[in-house]
Amino acid sequence: MTTFEWILLINAITAFILVFLEEKRPRKAVAWLLLMFLLPIGGIVLFIIFGQNLRKTKRASRKSARDRKYVHDLIEAHRIDYLTALSSLEKVGMESHDDMVQLLVNNGNSFLTHDNEAEVFSDGKEFFDALFRAIEAAREHVHVQYYIIRNDKLGRSFLDLLRRKRAEGVEVRLLVDGMGTRLPPRCYRSLHDAGVEVEMFFPPLVRMMPFLNHRINFRNHRKIVVIDGRIGFVGGYNVGDEYLGKVRRWGYWRDAALRLEGMAAMALQLRFILDWNEASKDKMDVEERYFPKEAPRRGKVPVQIVSSGPDTPWAPIKLSYLKMIHEAEESVYIQSPYFVPDESVRDALTMAALAGIDVRIMIPDKPDHPFVHWVSLSYLCELLPSGVKGYMYGSGFIHAKTAVVDGRIVSIGSANWDVRSFELNFETNAVLYSKELAGVQKDAFLDDLSRCCEVTVEGCEGRSLLVRFRMFISRLFSAIL
């Protein structure tokens, strides 16, 4: 056989395997087949790197089973009463959302916590000031999980703080993603020398070369910090100067995060332990010192910590977004730097807009990934005729991943409104059933509109051929982003 015939044969075999693996997602299979047709060799290489389906591996099944056991152990240890938690919704006028609570309990083991104090952050300086103060006050342990920690001024200050707390006798663990965080070896050595326990989630084949990673698709995108099992932080901020708005390329960095105190902090603690045990040989257990029963519980905000990833069968975060849209009676306000919704999400947004719901979606005007930006714009233009309103944030870069419905329910976390966050990455959001906190986020969204330009049907139809071509090509391969 000639070289060309061998290429065709290998391409055909790979295509057969692809169709078999993606029988439930034909659109994704078609996108891969098209890429293999256009790039016979390159398409195969890209499929090997990006086309793995972690959901179908035994490792994912085992992790899912372990996660369920740990959640059960925590519930038993603290006698979390599901009916009592549900009754808390009545106290805050949220009893109509008990079916959403049930959905997330059944789908993602996201037990409802009802004794929380919560604070919303949308400014980087305010967020990191609060985070550093909370870590400074730690007395027992600090557990940190980030997708990105930069080797810049903020990143080095953050790592210095962790080393300093360890020197004070505080137990410190740091979990970073093997592709997102690219610290030099000396940083890891200094952390180890200081006694900080450091682990890497799905590390690259060579630590100095994070791009040599056979799991490019399955990244731990979560951003979680837990202090003494009492205070938790979750949201969209990573650790780096750009998140303070100090990188000229981006300007002001608009993001969103939460400080939680109460049982929700313990739910974040559990999430950290589950991910730590996946990455480390030094396993952690549900010990009382990590889940203090005597922790003060003065708050009244019901919260569910919702996590999803390739180890969860029914995409809990995506379904939480869908459920929020379907429950809307007045408004749905969404912010996301990447907006690549699948058909179910597009249909839900379209139905809501056609039913007279005020649906507004905000994306950045300044893209950090041009390919994803054109896809986002394409999907936004598609939704406009149904009555959805689209906006591009122009005062810096918007990185917030938020959804607020009727000024009653708000979701803030790490998950973008795209296929990668829905299916491929490990993500964590907090869903708050609170008119006060949802009102804060709604007001922030409306305030951000003054810094946006509206995307109109006329503007979409009047775009140049070059822009239309970019949008078309990006949309064509959006299923395999």
Q: Print the domain residue range for 47.
A: 3-51
Mean pLDDT of the chain: 85
Please check whether residues 328 and 441 belong to one and the same domain. Answer: yes
Residue 8 has pLDDT above 90, yes or no: no
Element (H, E) at 214: none
Element (H, E) at 227: strand 224-227
pLDDT band at 115 (very low <50, low <70, confident <90, very high): confident
Residue 270 has pLDDT above 80, yes or no: yes
Best CA proximity match to 291, nearest among 70, 62, 67, 118: 70
Catalytic member of 228, 275, 418, 448 = 228
Instruction: Determine which of 52-61, 126-135, 245-254 has the lowest per-residue pLDDT on average.
Output: 52-61
Q: Is the dihedral of CA 251, 252, 257, 258 positive or negative?
A: positive
Average pLDDT over residues 350-379: 91
> What's the start-to-end Cα distance of the chain, in Å?
34
Catalytic member of 255, 401, 418, 448 = 401
Average pLDDT over residues 178-202: 95
pLDDT band at 230 (very low <50, low <70, confident <90, very high): very high
Average pLDDT over residues 357-368: 92
| 401 flagged as catalytic | yes
Q: Is residue 419 part of a domain?
A: yes
8-state DSSP, 426: B
pLDDT digit string, tens, across residues 310-336: 888 889 999 999 999 999 999 999 999
Q: Is residue 308 part of a domain?
A: no
Alpha helices in 355-418 (DSSP H): 370-383
pLDDT band at 308 (very low <50, low <70, confident <90, very high): very high
Q: Is residue 309 part of a domain?
A: no
Residue 131 has pLDDT above 90, yes or no: yes
pLDDT of residue 94: 83
8-state DSSP, 206: B
Q: Is residue 411 part of a domain?
A: yes
Average pLDDT over residues 173-180: 95
Q: Is residue 109 part of a domain?
A: no
- Looking at 248, 269, 302, which one is the last position of a domain? 302
Q: Is residue 311 part of a domain?
A: no
Average pLDDT over residues 34-59: 57
Q: How far does CA 324 lie from the centroid of its chain?
A: 17
Q: Is residue 123 part of a domain?
A: yes
Residue 32 has pLDDT above 80, yes or no: no
Task: Name the range with the highest mean pLDDT among 17-31, 79-93, 195-209.
Answer: 195-209
pLDDT of residue 105: 86
- Looking at 238, 268, 302, which one is the last position of a domain? 302
pLDDT of residue 7: 60
Please check whether residues 73 and 206 belong to one and the same domain. Answer: yes
Please check whether residues 171 and 269 belong to one and the same domain. Answer: yes
pLDDT band at 176 (very low <50, low <70, confident <90, very high): very high
Q: From the CB of residue 378, how many other CB atoms can be counted at a distance below 10 Å?
A: 22
Q: What are phi and psi of 434, to 5 degrees?
A: -155, 120
Residue 343 has pLDDT above 80, yes or no: yes
Please check whether residues 210 and 164 belong to one and the same domain. Answer: yes
Burial 237-265 (b: 16+ CB within 10 A, else e): bbbbbbbbbbbeebeebbbbbbbbbbbbb
Helix (H, G, I), strand (E, B) or coil at 312: coil
Q: Is residue 310 part of a domain?
A: no
Bridge partners of 177, per DSSP, are 201
pLDDT band at 445 (very low <50, low <70, confident <90, very high): very high
| 228 flagged as catalytic | yes
pLDDT of residue 153: 97
pLDDT of residue 71: 63
| Domain at 417, CATH number | 3.30.870.10
| 399 flagged as catalytic | yes
Task: Report the number of distinct structural domains present in the chain.
Answer: 3
pLDDT of residue 80: 58
Residue 58 has pLDDT above 70, yes or no: no
* Maximum separation of any 2 CA atoms in the chain, in Å: 75
Is residue 327 within 8 Å of residue 100, measured between CB atoms?
yes
pLDDT of residue 89: 80
Best CA proximity match to 386, nearest among 412, 424, 360, 423: 360
The token pair at 250 is 């981006």
pLDDT of residue 425: 92
| 283 flagged as catalytic | no
pLDDT digit string, tens, across residues 376-419: 999 999 999 999 999 999 999 999 999 999 999 999 999 999 98
Average pLDDT over residues 437-453: 97
Q: Residue 468: how many CA atoms within 13 Å on its side-chain side?
A: 7
By the 10 Å C-beta count (0-12 exposed, 13-18 middle, 19+ buried), 95 is classed as middle
Please check whether residues 63 and 46 belong to one and the same domain. Answer: no
Catalytic member of 399, 418, 442, 448 = 399
Best CA proximity match to 241, nearest among 232, 233, 253: 253
The token pair at 324 is 């929020």
Please check whether residues 83 and 173 belong to one and the same domain. Answer: yes
d(CA 213, CA 276): 19
Please check whether residues 441 and 355 belong to one and the same domain. Answer: yes
Please check whether residues 94 and 235 belong to one and the same domain. Answer: yes
Catalytic member of 365, 406, 418, 448 = 406
pLDDT band at 474 (very low <50, low <70, confident <90, very high): low
pLDDT of residue 50: 57
Please check whether residues 154 and 268 belong to one and the same domain. Answer: yes
Please check whether residues 327 and 473 belong to one and the same domain. Answer: yes
Catalytic member of 114, 143, 223, 318 = 223
Is residue 301 within 8 Å of residue 432, measured between CB atoms?
yes
The token pair at 219 is 């990244």
Please check whether residues 173 and 66 belong to one and the same domain. Answer: yes
- Looking at 253, 278, 302, which one is the last position of a domain? 302
pLDDT band at 423 (very low <50, low <70, confident <90, very high): confident
| 58 flagged as catalytic | no
Please check whether residues 20 and 147 belong to one and the same domain. Answer: no
Of 440 and 297, more confident = 440
d(CA 303, CA 111): 9
| 369 flagged as catalytic | no
